[in-house]
Amino acid sequence: MAASIKNLILMALMVATAALAHVMRPTVHLAEERPPIDLEAMIPRQFAGWREQVNVAAQVVNPEQAATLEAIYSQTLSRFYVNDAGYRVMLSIAYGNDQSDQLQLHKPEVCYPAQGFKLEDVQRGTLDLPGQSAIAATRMSTHLGQRFEPVTYWTVVGDHVTTGGVNKKLTEMRYGLRGRIPDGMLVRVSSIDRDTARAHQIQADFAAAMVAAIAPEHRARFAGLDPALALKQNTQP
């Protein structure tokens, strides 16, 4: 009899847990409550000594297959920019309006090797952007044959820059507790350059100039909220 009662209690708890999980599952997409993202329009084609370069022979490396891109991301943007000194960078932005367990941003350190690139180095660090003390960013050194391509990238979930792993999951859970499914963005800047230190510095300067050129009302979508503003937002009732 005691065993039967125990089993009934366990079953009731399992049913209650499943019901609670269903009730608490976020159903509202954060992207639906905001102005729509338009990468082509929001990212200027010319700013601070940089201008878009079209019809170039080299291609922006797309480390994912087209079918995967269409399944994961709502929009993607790939452009070349060149500065007054003739230095060229490649900008790639991937935006997904659903950062649920089924749809997640794909990290370049996974995608590049999948396309045959050798990953020489990966460093977690910070990047100074306008209106921020610093954001978390990742710097990579990669090469494919004689193509040496240093990379700088960062990810934004909702209005918060994340470092991936636990930090990203906690950010998604915080939105989930408010009934929201966050959107996500990955911003990647790379250049073909054997001098990795120089490339990463130029990429940092390019990123700061690009973010500064984005309209203020859209800037947090690409670079996250200032940490102080983010804390205030999270503590509001």
Is residue 212 in a domain?
yes
Between β-strands 135-144 and 118-127, what pairing exists: parallel, antiparallel or unpaired?
antiparallel
Is residue 219 in a domain?
yes
| C-alpha to C-alpha distances, 32 to 27, 40, 98, 184, nearest whole angstrom | 11, 19, 10, 13
Give me the domain span that covers residue 47.
27-235
| Mean pLDDT value across the chain | 80
Is residue 61 in a domain?
yes
Is residue 127 in a domain?
yes
Mean pLDDT of 47-67: 70
162 secondary structure, DSSP code: E
| Helix, strand or coil, per DSSP, at residue 205 | helix
pLDDT digits (tens, 9 = 90+) for 176-185: 788 888 888 9
Choice between 41 and 226, residue whose per-residue pLDDT is larger: 41
Closest by Cα among 188, 184, 199, 116 to 153: 188
Is residue 228 in a domain?
yes
What are 206's two structure tokens? 């390019």
Place of tokens 């979508």: 221
Closest by Cα among 127, 96, 98 to 200: 127
For every residue of 105-157, DSSP letters joined together read: PPPHHHHHHHTT-EEEEEEEEEE--TT-S-EEEEEEEEEETTEEEEEEEEEEE
Identify the sign of the CA torsion 25, 29, 30, 33: negative
Place of tokens 């989930």: 176
Is residue 13 in a domain?
no
Choice between 91 and 12, residue whose per-residue pLDDT is larger: 91
pLDDT digits (tens, 9 = 90+) for 130-174: 776 689 999 999 999 999 999 999 999 888 888 777 777 777 788
- Contact by Cβ (8 Å): 117, 150: no
Is residue 8 in a domain?
no
What are 21's two structure tokens? 């999980």
Choice between 138 and 59, residue whose per-residue pLDDT is larger: 138
pLDDT digits (tens, 9 = 90+) for 187-216: 999 999 999 999 999 999 999 999 999 999
Domain count across the chain? 1
Is residue 123 in a domain?
yes
